[in-house]
Amino acid sequence: MPTHSSRALILGALACLLLVCALASVTYGARDIALADAWSALRGHADTINQAAAAQRLPRTALAAAVGAALAVAGVSMQAITRNPLADPGIFGVLSGAALAVVVGIAFFGLRNPVPTFFTAILGSALAAVFVFVVGSLSSPGGARGGDPAPLSLALAGAATAAAGSSLVSAVLLPRVDVMDTFRFWQIGSVGGATFEHLLLGVPFLLGGALLCLASAGGLNALALGDDVAAGLGAHPGATRLVAATGAVTLCGTATALAGPIGFVGLVVPHLCRLVVGSDHRWLLPTSAVAGAVLLIAADTVGRVIARPHEIAVAVITPLLGAPLFIWIVRRQKVRDL
């Protein structure tokens, strides 16, 4: 089992890797930029073409870090709440619920302002999460008896919800060319076109969701032992699930409103981080946040480098990284144990 010092060392190493990835994100892309120009852009200078290009990459790098951290923390929380190794905001349909709510708000209610968009996305995430949990409970023998729904039932309910949500998004957008042209890149999932003004509006929601998840870390550790044992240890399983779930859906909804639906981050990062820091959520949550930021910044940078002078949206790159691990998890676990 990792010690506190080794976990702290791993977290520090990830923080250094995050700085390296952020620097690479600013310097590499359709136009490679010298470190001196990147440093000048960081200090607020945009006197040359290279400095201006670096300055434009700063907000997308910050957005990638924020969204990656949010999705990773949400994934850890969802896996702990449901005790399901396959739990992920994308697989459970939470991201699709947020995307559908935003698209409906835009198409039918003229939703444009960022703050109402955040609330709409969070509401969509919450409704999707509740729907998946209810359907998974009804279709699970354990859930029908009042226990936790089976992981496989939740995964199937989430996959069906995600597919239905994506289809409904397309049904809303296709007849509305003006809306589709404006938001088709957002629907794919991208951090391009980010601005600090928009990101700063989302920061309170991201911080609030993250604090709720971090405050639940001790309770999530107890939940891993089962509700009866957790209650015997003085924890409150229902309250812990409610607080952690509220934090998770807030993070998912805000991340989706900022960058569109981006999948697999919440699945890949928690499993990788458990391999190095263990299952203690007091360490797993912050480690996953940093690792999620590293993954999304790296994926965005790769998408810009391999398709020069164009770019590949980050949501296209992340499944290429996450799908092999997802397949490995399914093959590793017995179906009856999922």
Highest mean pLDDT among 103-107, 175-179, 215-219: 215-219
Q: How many domains does the chain have?
A: 1
**Can you say whether residue 48 is alpha, beta or left, with left for phi > 0 and alpha for psi between -120 and 50 degrees?**
beta
Q: What is the pTM of this model?
A: 0.90
Full domain range(s) for residue 325 = 4-337
Contacts of residue 251, Cβ cutoff 8 Å, sequence gap at least 6: 70, 71, 73, 74, 206, 209, 210, 213
Cα 241 from chain centroid? Answer: 18
Query: What is the Cα–Cα distance from 54 to 165, expressed in whole angstroms?
Result: 37
Average per-residue pLDDT for the chain: 87
Q: Angle at Cα 67 formed by Cα 148 and Cα 104, nearest 5°?
A: 75
For 309, phi then psi, to 5°, come to -85, 5
pLDDT tens, residue by residue, 68-80: 999 999 999 999 9
CB 216 within 8 A of CB 230: no
Contacts of residue 213, Cβ cutoff 8 Å, sequence gap at least 6: 73, 74, 76, 77, 244, 247, 248, 251, 285
Q: List the single range of 54-68, 88-102, 224-238 with lowest mean pLDDT.
A: 224-238
Tokens of 149: 């729904």
pLDDT tens, residue by residue, 197-226: 999 999 999 999 999 999 999 999 998 888
Terminal-residue alpha carbon distance, the chain: 24
Of 26, 53, 132, the C-alpha closest to 89 is 132
Residue 143 has pLDDT above 80, yes or no: no
State which H helix or E strand residue 181 sits in: helix 177-188
Of 75, 256, 284, the C-alpha closest to 183 is 256
Average confidence (pLDDT) over 46-68: 89
Task: Report the CATH number that the domain containing residue 327 is assigned in CATH.
Answer: 1.10.3470.10
- How many other C-beta atoms can be found within 10 angstroms of the C-beta atom of residue 136? 26
Of 225, 256, 255, the C-alpha closest to 240 is 225
Query: What is the Cα–Cα distance from 201 to 194, expressed in whole angstroms?
Result: 12
